[in-house]
Structure 1
Amino acid sequence: MLIMFFSVVIPTYNRLPILEKCVRAIAHQRWHPDLGIRGYEVIIVDDGSTDKTVEWLKEHRHEFPCVQWLQQEHLGPAAARNLGIQGAKGDWIIFIDSDLVVTSTFLEAHARCLMREQKRLGIEDVTQVPAFSYGRVINTCNFADPTSERYKMTDFSAAYFATGNVAIARHWLEKAGLFDTQFQLYGWEDLELGVRLKKLGLRLLKCPEAVGYHWHPPFSLSQVPALIQKEIERGRMGVLFYKKHPIWEVKLMIQMTPFHYLLWAILSLGGLLNEKTLAPLLQWLINIDRPQDALEVARIFLNWYNVQAVYAAYQNEIKNEIKNVM
């Protein structure tokens, strides 16, 4: 029988309204008594929030006895997750995002998935099973009732290791070297760790029964500047990712190929289709209650910003290397 104690690590930064729903969901888990789960803890890592996140956690500490929190300056999700791992008591770490609302059998689903793999391999110590379970993430704009959303084709993810909903033995995280805290801007810190985990031979176990509902506000034009900034940051962090792992697989992930450059250059008409020229169409889609379609259209220029940022950051790296040599 599996004997498992889970530590659920949740980094957060200024997401208090949805964090409340996240905490209430993860703090009320149930599982079959014969399954072998002996308990769990929830570790909220506040990454320098200014929205009174910690004050809310203190006010509700008696309501959620399994929840504790750690604080750090605003250093990014990689550093926050590492801090959570260091403060965790469990041999099993589950990562979810602070805007994810899970079902009441979330932990049980991950445990059952890992138990099946242990049985298949015949390994006595479950923490030594070279695998991790990756749950289903369903995107939703429904704040009132996030779990009412159905799975959509656009929710599919081909990522090998993403921290939105994943359970992994602490042993493997430590062996891989935890998250790289150089990734302070938006993007890639989890997939970069995934490359190192893959080198260790870990197998990805799809676990669709472990469902998390990823809430985000309906798309609006006011979000566009922040979304553009994220794409620029993602491009810069993508080059850091490639610098650490200069392989074709990473090039494809970060869109640093001639194909991606030409694709988004053509689709955006060389940048002519941008946040300004497409604003009337986006607003019209929003007005007829199709914000998700508006977001998909916006990806035309968002991806163009990302690809340009990737190439600009890469060219800057080359220039710096030449200066260092000289």
Structure 2
Amino acid sequence: MAVRYSVIIPTFNRAEQLLLTLVSFDRVNYLKDQYEIIVVDDGSTDGTRELVKGFRSGLRLHYFANEVQRGRSVTRNLGLRHAKGGYVVFCDADFIVLPEFFQVLDDDHRAYPRAVLSGIPNSWDDAYTHFHPDFSNVEKQKCREVLVQVGLWNDEFDTVDRIVPLLTPDDLINRTGRLSQLVIRDRFHPNVRIQFAKSDVAPWLMLITRCVSIPRTYLTRIGGFNEKFVKYGLEDWELGYRLHRMKIRFHSIRRVLGYHQEHPNVYRGEMGNKENLRIMYKTHGFMDPELNLFAVMPAWEDVANYKDTLRVLSRGMKSKSKRSTALLMKNTLRIAAEQFAKRKRPEAYKRSLRSIRMKLRALKKKGHTARVLRTILARSANLVNR
């Protein structure tokens, strides 16, 4: 029987969390010959190979590995080359899926047959499945607050030098309800969730590889992830952007599919958003305001402000009275993105911004579009100081 879903799980030194992820996939309410799990190891040194090779279940479980650490894009593409399913599900090694995971995907793929399905934002909540001695003081305090509320905090956690399991495979197998006790509720502002679910502007921001399902033919057509991205950050959005340019639709799944296992922030590795954004500009150029806006108002910092600004620009381009201001905004974003990417001569850049300010004053516009443009000009000016 043909495989319907290929679940690709990249991992690096996440053995404890990966075990729970694999157990959760083993316990889904779905025929096991309908899906395969592809674990791709990016050079782990914590026994990940032995864990996967020794995992006993009815799963179609495959293990592949890079000889040395090469980054998330290369790792996911390695899994993609071995995928046989009609749909490819990218899932993190620290994501516990609920039993109805594939049933929900089936329902939404039938309702949106040519769309990319995203678990974001409704499957964004975290759970403390382990206490990590590498938690920062702030992270330890947040963990303490959650565990105290459900009576699971132990003062000895403050001095342990090993990872302490708070959720066990047996809890998942026997559905003890422990997972629900460990979930961190309402970490994100409601408006952040609302904005990620909207598809009127930049719908490609939904492609976050914690949990996303994509027809495999789409990935084959665009060649998978951009392997120039080595550091953490933006590699999933860049893939989503290319799919968006192919006119592929995006849909946010309204049901919860699972929970991310909270871990120390340092486990993510060095954040490479700025370097990777320069790669995006080199790859895609400076013609699209959705990309150019990242230079002065990055979506990873404030997605609501980012999307609202794009909406102001879009409405302005359609309005006779606002079009001149919107064109100045569009031009400012292009100039700012080029400055961010190429680091041009600061004096020439400042002259370009002064010219736009003079044109805006000449227009004598005082509406919302003009106010947003002034904000963008102020932020653009700060680029020379970065």
Is the pair's TM-score, using the shorter chain for normalization, greater than 0.5?
A: yes
TM-score with structure 2 setting the length? 0.57
Alignment of 1:138-287 (within 5 A): 138-143=125-130, 144-145=166-167, 146-148=179-181, 149=183, 151-152=185-186, 154=188, 156=193, 158=196, 159-217=205-263, 223=266, 230-231=270-271, 233-245=272-284, 246=286, 247-253=288-294, 256-257=295-296
- The one-letter code of the counterpart of 1:234 is N
* CA distance in 2 between partners of 1:16 and 1:101 (Å): 13
The answer to whether the 8 A contact 2:95-2:260 is kept is yes
Is residue 3–residue 84 contact of structure 2 (8 Å, CA) maintained in 1?
no
Q: For residues 209 and 26 of structure 1, what CA distance do their matches in structure 2 show?
A: 17
Give 5+ residue unaligned stretches, structure 1: 119-128, 265-309, 320-326
Name the Cα RMSD after superposition: 3.0
In structure 2, the partner of 1:29 is 28
Instruction: Identify the match of residue 94 of structure 1 among 65, 89, 97.
Output: 89
Q: Contact 1:11/1:81 (CA < 8 Å) preserved in 2?
A: yes
User: Which position in structure 2 is the counterpart of 1:13?
Assistant: 12
2:40 counterpart of 1:45: yes
Deviations 1:72-121 (A, max 9, x none): 12111111111111111111110111111110111111111111224xxx
Matched to 1:47, the amino acid is: D
Deviation of the 1:248 alpha carbon: 2.1
2:63 corresponds in structure 1 to 69
User: Per the alignment, do residues 117 and 217 of structure 1 end up closer, same or farther by CA in structure 2, a change over 3 Å counting?
Assistant: closer
TM-fit CA distance, 1:311: 10
What's the CA shift for 1:147?
4.5
Q: Distance in 2 between matches of 1:235 and 1:79?
A: 19
Q: Tell me the TM-score normalised to structure 1 length.
A: 0.67
In structure 2, distance between residues paired with 1:57 and 1:313? 43
Tell me how many residue pairs correspond in the alignment.
244
Structure (1/2) with the larger strand percentage: 1
Per-residue displacement from partner, 1:231-261 (whole Å, max 9, x unpaired)?
3x222112112222233212334xx11x67x
SS state at 2:206 partner: coil
Residue 139 of structure 1 aligns with an amino acid whose one-letter code is: D
| Aligned residue type for 2:116 | F
Alignment partners' CA distance in 2, 1:113 and 1:153? 26
d(CA) in 2 for partners of 1:94 and 1:53? Answer: 21
> Retained in 2: the 8 A contact 1:12–1:47?
yes
Deviations 1:265-289 (A, max 9, x none): xxxxxxxxxxxxxxxxxxxxxxxxx
Aligned mates of 1:216, 1:96 — CA distance in 2: 15
The answer to whether the 8 A contact 1:137-1:211 is kept is no
In 2 relative to 1, CA 54–218 (structure 1 residues): closer, same or farther, beyond 3 Å?
closer
Output one character per residue of 1:209-250: Cα deviation in whole Å (capped at 9) or x when no partner: 25221122367xxx5xx77x733x222112112222233212
Q: Is the 8 A contact 1:147 1:213 kept in 2?
A: no
Q: Highest Rg: 1 or 2? A: 2
Q: In 2, distance between residues paired with 1:317 and 1:162? A: 32
Q: Deviations over 1:128-149 (max 9, x none)?
A: x2x1111122123343244542
Note closer, same or farther for the CA distance 1:132–1:47 as it changes in structure 2 (3 Å cut): same
Q: Deviations over 1:35-69 (max 9, x none)?
A: xx961010000011111100111222x33532111
Q: Please say if residues 108 and 117 of structure 2, whose CA atoms lie closer than 8 Å, have aligned partners that are also in contact.
A: yes
